[in-house]
Amino acid sequence: MEAVRTCVGCRTRAPRSALLRVVSIDSALVIDERASMPGRGAWVHETPECVDAAIRRRAFVRALRVSGPLDTQTIEEHIQRKG
């Protein structure tokens, strides 16, 4: 049975394989392709709607428990390339 995670953008539960894990390194969001980087991670669908909702609601900041703003450029570029 595959693990289930909650998308920080739309707050729906989905299998781990359907979501993208991101972590915070030096106040920047970094995509964790293999879901193996150390530290706290946040899970989000690879859709512009979910990523935009998570950024707008500051869900990444809360989920990753960081203080201050995060640089979201990396994940925004990744989603634009995918879309």
Task: Give the chain's length.
Answer: 83
Domains along the chain?
Answer: 4-82 (3.30.1230.10)
Nearest to 14 by CA among 56, 50, 39: 50
pTM for the model: 0.93
Model pLDDT for residues 21-66, shown as the tens digit of each residue: 999 999 999 999 999 999 999 999 999 999 999 999 999 999 999 9
Model pLDDT for residues 7-25, shown as the tens digit of each residue: 999 999 999 999 999 999 9
Compute CA distances 6 → 26, 68, 73, 81, whole Å: 24, 23, 22, 23
